Structure 1
Amino acid sequence: MVPIPQHQATHHAVFQQLLSDGPMSRAELARRCGLSKQTLSLVCRALENAGLIRQAGETEGHIGRRASVFAPVPEAACCAVVDLGGTKVTVALATLTGSLLSGLTEATDNRGGGHVITQIARLCRETAAASGIEWNRVRHAVIGVPGAPDLTTGRVMMAPNIPAFDTFDVRAAFAEALGCSVQLENDVNLSAEGERWALSTAAPVLDMAYISIGTGIGCGLICDGQLLRGAAHAAGEIAFLPFGADPFDPQSRDCGALEQEAGSHGMRRRYHALSGKDITVPEIFTLAEGGDPAAETVLADTARLVARAIAALAAITNPALVVLGGSIGARPDFIARVRALAPQCHPSPPEIRLSQLGSRAPLAGAARLGLPRLIETALGG
């Protein structure tokens, strides 16, 4: 990739126009960007030499003349996007247009710490090779982590499922292992951004919440069109809402009072207390469909807890929409229970919807959040 002139706003404007609106002629580009044809020609030549755009055919011009059509080269630069969970890690590449290329998934290295850094760096390189992308085209990485990244120290706090991530500069370790700039973000925040991006194709979404309910419980908040992170990057950690279990129980300081009761471990524990049987969460749902009273009680109680959490969000951030995801939250029968209960604990509850993207939400959100930085690095910034 040949470097283009540094700090050229015109290059950025032309390239961004092509990324946003697709292939177009030189004349149309000049008109939209407010540039002379001579300046536009110089800019296009520099972007072509840098491998960022290419001629994509011709179109009819005035008086029968044909005009060159330019298009971006999406794979000229890529962003590594990572969804790191306590049990599995998924890695993919995102292009300059925000599209996701195929990725890889494997069980998370349970040793944590540097072992997870090494694992993800390997998976990123294997993903690039499988997609035919030279590694030097991977210019940025967005890592979704199950905790609260500390922007000052680079550590990841409140991530008990990834050992030792709170003891060293995780961001710096990733940057060294990957050889590119790195952005750490809470995984549920990424899901919120991914869902917002998907929903915004119809109309802008300015105020929404994404709640993931599975082994753990988390929430990503979009307020006035911006991702709300909070002072310690821990906004939306609704697992620590002070109801469900006793919030003063020492265990609630580790995983949260709400999560203790409404997460999958809490559901299984409560079913065992009612029936004496140790079964999985999917089995609880199946038994509830068949009329099992203990399973019905567990699901009803869990739905009430989630409805209370949504009422708390409605009182504080007033989202117009709540999207539910995760292995529990994305089940239509569970969503139906929560929808029925929400009006009983808040006078004006938000709309509640099923996740559109499912397990791809954090990767889509990472692609979205990483795009500005990726474009900047592609242009030599």
Structure 2
Amino acid sequence: MNFLAQSFSSRQQIQRAVILEAFGNDQVSRAELARVSGLSKQTMSDVFRDLEEDGWLEVVGRTTGTVGRAAAVYKLAPKRALLFGADVGGTKVHAAITDVHGNVLAEREEPTTQDGGVAFCEQILACCRTLAEEAGEPIERIVAGTVGIPGAFDPVRRKLFMVPNIAGLNDYPIEDDLTKRLGFPVRVENDVNMAAKGEMWRGEGQNIPCFAFIALGTGVGMGIINEGRVLSGSRGAAGEISTLPIGGDPFDARNFHAGSLERSVGSIAIRERYEGAGGVQGLTVRDIFDAIDRGDAIASATLTEVARQLAVGIVAICAVLDPQRIVMGGSIGAREELVDRIRQFIPLCTPTPPECVVSTLGRRAGLLGTISQSRDLLLNILQTGDLAKVGR
């Protein structure tokens, strides 16, 4: 933050600037902020005292190695404002409450309700209350939340669409309902976008301004980070690579529901491809992977063909986005047996292959992404809101 360019007209503006500086740095000192801001040491002392009394700052040490009296060093008090995040799938809700730095205070998993939009929002509210109780913190201390859902959220219509696995959420005004029920601002985002954001925050996308996260399991989806930000598109549907015209006839209306690529590489496609080639009937995808280790040639050929189709999809992505790295995740996408094959195919169809790696966050990527998004929302609240009302 550039204090020299800041024009302060009120005590709260100064307080807000100090909090934002503490939010973006591990620690701050009032003497240093007084120096770079041009404000008097007495003014900064008064501001820091008020923020400390209101619970925003806490002393973590004193400066060393400098001439003169050691100055107190502060950091943002971790529990002054709490965050909520939930990664929602067709079968499970994975949710957590964290402190302002993103450290988990309480975490839980529970089955996803299939009883419609109202029941789903009630479930998220009950989950949030339970987590607050487990963390030993009042729910009023939570100031921002994010829910990642396997679908697209249209920011203009403010409704979800393309939600095939959770009953009653299509066209439901979920973000407005959640914000009203929970009592703090809530953002609804695509789950794979949130996984990409999690990778950018604490995973394989750190310090990489442009990369794509591909999740492959029952279906296939992609989250895009471009210039350090999630790319959502005009309707929130950017990254829906399941609909790429690869692996099937794009004019076949049967592909409108799942998409050509998903029908070619998803878990159902893998089982059908394996059985159709003469493989053992009734095996799960995990069983098919295990069969490769036992020398099953049909299983190996099946996985090789899936990797080939995915490589073509990745090359198409690269033609549009030019990502530095592809991060693979999901129950199937994170398997090294598959990623190794993809790495072999990509250089055969592009002279500039991107790096292809496996997510190190695994199934936690989506949850961490929602927490990171909630931190962004908190930052916006700190920049524009009434500090006295935040977390109270």
Identify the residue that residue 270 of structure 1 maps to in structure 2.
273
Q: Distance in 2 between matches of 1:77 and 1:124?
A: 15
Distance in 2 (CA, whole Å) between partners of 1:84 and 1:18 is 32
Residue of structure 1 equivalent to 2:132: 128
* TM-score when normalising by structure 2: 0.89
Residue 284 of structure 1, CA deviation: 0.6
Does the 8 A contact of 1:74 with 1:97 survive in 2? yes
Shift of 1:276: 5.3
Name 1:329's counterpart in structure 2: 333
Residue 51 of structure 2 corresponds to 47
Which residue of 1 is the match for residue 386 of structure 2? 380
* Aligned equivalents of 1:343, 1:42: Cα separation in 2: 61
On the 8 A contact 1:81/1:366 being kept in 2, the answer is: yes
Q: Distance in 2 between matches of 1:102 and 1:150?
A: 30
Between stretches 361-370 and 34-43, larger displacement belongs to 34-43
Partner SS for 2:246: coil
Q: Which amino acid aligns with 2:272?
A: R
Please show how residues 196-211 of structure 1 align to structure 2 within 5 Å: 196-198=200-202, 204-211=207-214
Partner residue of 1:288 out of 285, 292, 300: 292
Greater mean alpha carbon deviation, residues 345-354 or residues 58-67: 58-67
How many residue pairs are counted as aligned between the two chains?
376
Q: Secondary structure at the match of 1:184?
A: strand
Q: Is the 8 A contact 1:100 1:364 kept in 2?
A: no
Query: Per the alignment, do residues 273 and 90 of structure 1 end up closer, same or farther by CA in structure 2, a change over 3 Å counting?
Result: same
**Aligned match of 2:142:** 138
Quote how far apart the aligned CAs of 1:45 are: 2.5
The alignment yields a C-alpha RMSD, in angstroms, of 2.3
2:215 pairs with one of 189, 212, 215: 212
- Alignment check: 8 A CA contact 2:205 2:211 kept: no
Pick the aligned partner of 1:93 from 92, 97, 104.
Answer: 97
Give 1:5-154 correspondences, 5 Å limit: 8-59=12-63, 65-154=69-158
- 1:298 and 2:305 aligned: no
Q: Which residue does the alignment assign to 1:309?
A: 313
Q: d(CA) in 2 for partners of 1:284 and 1:119?
A: 36
The amino acid of 2:291's aligned partner reads L
Partner of 1:234, secondary structure, is coil
- Distance across 2 between alignment mates of 1:33 and 1:299: 60
Structure 2 CA distance, aligned partners of 1:213 and 1:34?
Answer: 53
Residues 100-140 of structure 1 deviation map (CA, whole Å, 9 limit, x = unaligned): 33311112113342222111211111112111221001111
CA distance 1:226–1:376, change in 2 (3 Å) = closer
How much does 1:223 deviate? Answer: 1.7
Code of the residue aligned with 1:265 in structure 2: it is I
Aligned 8 A contact 1:78 1:374 in 2: no
Q: CA deviation at 1:7?
A: 9.0
Gap regions ≥5 residues in structure 1? none
* 8 A Cα contact 2:204 2:327, kept in partner: no
In 2, the alpha carbon distance for the partners of 1:269 and 1:119 equals: 36
User: Structure 1 pair 338/61, CA: closer, same or farther in 2 (3 Å)?
Assistant: closer
How far is 1:59 from its partner?
A: 5.0
In the TM superposition, residue 58 of structure 1 has moved relative to its aligned partner by: 4.4
Deviation digits for residues 173-230 of structure 1 (CA, Å, limit 9, x no counterpart) = 111221111111111111111112225897x311110101111111111122222111
1:239 matched to 2:242: yes
Alpha carbons 2:217, 2:331 under 8 Å: kept: yes
Q: How many angstroms does 1:269 deviate by? A: 2.1
Identity %: 38
Counterpart position of 2:162: 158
Deviations 1:219-271 (A, max 9, x none): 11112222211111111000110122333333311111111121112112222
SS at match of 2:356: strand
Partner amino acid, structure 1, of 2:84: A
Deviation at 1:154, TM superposition (A): 2.2
> For the Cα contact (< 8 Å) 2:156–2:235, is it kept in 1?
no
Distance 1:38 1:200 in 2: 45
State whether residues 25 and 67 of structure 1, in contact with CA within 8 Å, keep that contact through their aligned partners in structure 2: yes
Cα distance in 1 for partners of 2:160, 2:10 equals: 34
Q: Closer, same or farther in 2 for the Cα pair 1:58/1:271, shift >3 Å?
A: same
Residue identity in the other structure for 1:224? E
Alignment-mate amino acid for residue 237 of structure 1: E
